[in-house]
Structure 1
Amino acid sequence: MKEWLIILLRSIGLFFGVLIFIRVMGKKQIARMTPFYFVSYGVIAILTALISANIIKNLGFGLLALGIWILIPIALDYIAMKSKWLHDVLNGRETVLVKDGKIMEENLKQLRITGEELMRELRSKNAFLMSDVEFAMVETTGEINVLLKSDKKPVTPHDLGKKVATQMAPQTVILDGNVLDEPLGDMGLNQGWLRVQLKNMGVSLDNVFVGQVDASGDLYVDLFDDSLQQPQIQVKELLYATLEKCEADLVSFSLETEDEKAKKMYEINGQRLQDVLKNLEPHLLR
């Protein structure tokens, strides 16, 4: 058999074979891959290239070596799920760099991390002042995670004692000018609703590159024609503003009238509407 045909057949077979084995080995991001898996994937890639290019003449020996480097990491991965000791051997352990606001210099030396590198990593986590950092740790992937001091953390609705509505994942309902029925149905919507929203925006479906519906039911669109600026419909915000105006009108009426019975009616209903607004705020405002 001619050598070019051997290379062609080997390459095709190895491509699909390695593709299957890589999927079995699991989805691991390169940026968050531990050294063990990085080396394993590298050796698999090298062996595959050598076998494919017919540099390893003996196909059986090449496949044997490739199989070992594929199957052993898979086996060790499953065992490591049950054994903390093996997991630490394969992936290493986390290392504390900052504890109680103090830098652990010995740990920095052990990992060969300079002070400048530490400061750079802290800045990437929006910690520009060392005095703001309570705790920092190097993960087994080499990534540094930072915990800011309590008085330096961003304020959340929970800190303010405010309730917010549970957020669901947004759904892409239009892509490249085509309506996606499945995600639209998952939101309990249909094409009729979508056409009405686009009509209210003054937008043609053919001009929509991406259309997304958020958890509040608002439609966001990105157009092919970037020179056009289309207002996004904020139905729930408008509803909340209308209710606020009604509540303000009731307060105004109660102050203007001299009829005690009418004044009391306005005050009672104004208070009821205020309670309704308080309950609706987490759902209508984001």
Structure 2
Amino acid sequence: MGKRQIGELQPSELVVTILISNIATLPIQDVDVPLSGGIVPILTIVCFEVFISGLTMRSRTARRLFCGGPKMVIRDGQIMQKELRDLRFSVDDLIEQLRAAGYFDPSEVLFAVVETTGSLSVYPRFAARPATGGDLGLHRDDFIDAPPVVIVDQGRVLPDSLDYCGVSPVWLQKALEQEGIAQKDIFLMTCDRRRKYHIVKKDKT
């Protein structure tokens, strides 16, 4: 498991992961420990984690207790020093996370929140935000402007993606015939709701 995956774990999930990894090594390190001595505790911990996950989904209090909550570290453009100390979040950590979000100057940030995963969500000042279509007075249908999705994955058609794009298997076959390519020869095919598609062929072996 890489640093990125570890950083995405909730505190309770990280504790469970460490416990399971330690318990799983006991029967390997000590031949006198039966295999059940590792399996039973692991199953118990997994059941406990499933129970805690269900509890945190239903109870906000339990979620705060086991997973913590987001903390605002920049509010109305002001760095909340007490929150940083409570989180053991150094100035270097804050500046690094702001740079990762694309803001090298903290004064460009209006609000910033440290999520339970440790990542930083940034809301910039109006002057520092990238111009949007709305700012430029441009208007487009959000339904039509939706991003493309994969409709063929290594020769396999994805029906849900066809529905998303508003196309049918018949339309797909006609598009492939027009391109002169068989479905089985497709490595990847994407399409959007404007029916604009892109095809990547399989490498010849």
Deviation per CA, 1:103-148: give whole Å up to 9, x if none. Answer: 1222223323222221110011111221210011111111111111
Q: Distance in 2 between matches of 1:194 and 1:64?
A: 51
Are 1:96 and 2:72 counterparts? yes
* Secondary structure, aligned partner of 2:103: coil
Give % identity: 22
Distance 1:183 1:88, change over 3 A: closer
- 1:79–1:86 CA contact under 8 A, matched in 2: yes
Partner of 2:83: 107
Q: Distance in 2 between matches of 1:47 and 1:94?
A: 31
**Deviation of the 1:78 alpha carbon:** 2.3
Partner of 2:49: 73
Are 1:152 and 2:131 counterparts? no
Q: Which of 131, 151, 163 is the matching residue for 2:140?
A: 163
Are 1:190 and 2:169 counterparts? yes
Partner of 2:197: 219
Higher helix proportion (structure 1 or 2)? 1
* Secondary structure, aligned partner of 2:140: coil
Higher strand proportion (structure 1 or 2)? 2
Aligned residue pairs total 194
Deviation per CA, 1:171-216: give whole Å up to 9, x if none. Answer: 433333x25263575343235x445434555x53376421112111
- Give the aligned residue type for 2:21: A
Are 1:139 and 2:115 counterparts? yes
- 2:148–2:191 CA contact under 8 A, matched in 1: yes
* Secondary structure, aligned partner of 1:141: coil
In the superposition, the TM-score normalised over structure 2's length comes to: 0.77
Deviation per CA, 1:43-89: give whole Å up to 9, x if none. Answer: 11332343467746234443332233222222222223343333222
Distance 1:171 1:118, change over 3 A: closer
Deviation per CA, 1:203-239: give whole Å up to 9, x if none. Answer: 53376421112111112112446xxxxxxxxxxxxxx
Partner of 1:276: none
Superposition CA RMSD, Å:
2.9
- Give the aligned residue type for 2:127: D
Partner of 1:268: none
Higher gyration radius (CA): 1
- Give the aligned residue type for 2:63: H
- 1:172–1:183 CA contact under 8 A, matched in 2: no
* Secondary structure, aligned partner of 2:133: coil
Distance 1:56 1:108, change over 3 A: farther
Q: Distance in 2 between matches of 1:83 and 1:195?
A: 49
Q: Could you list the runs of 5+ residues in structure 2 that have no partner in the other structure?
A: none
- Give the aligned residue type for 1:204: I
Q: Distance in 2 between matches of 1:83 and 1:174?
A: 40
In the superposition, the TM-score normalised over structure 1's length comes to: 0.57
Distance 1:63 1:165, change over 3 A: closer
Bigger relative contact order, structure 1 or 2 (CA pairs below 8 A, ≥6 apart): 2
- 1:33–1:141 CA contact under 8 A, matched in 2: yes
- 2:151–2:162 CA contact under 8 A, matched in 1: no
Q: What is the 5 A alignment of 1:1-286? A: 30-51=6-27, 55=31, 57-159=33-135, 160=137, 162-166=139-143, 167-168=145-146, 170-176=148-154, 178=155, 180=157, 182-183=159-160, 186=163, 187-191=166-170, 193-198=171-176, 200-201=178-179, 203-205=180-182, 208-224=186-202
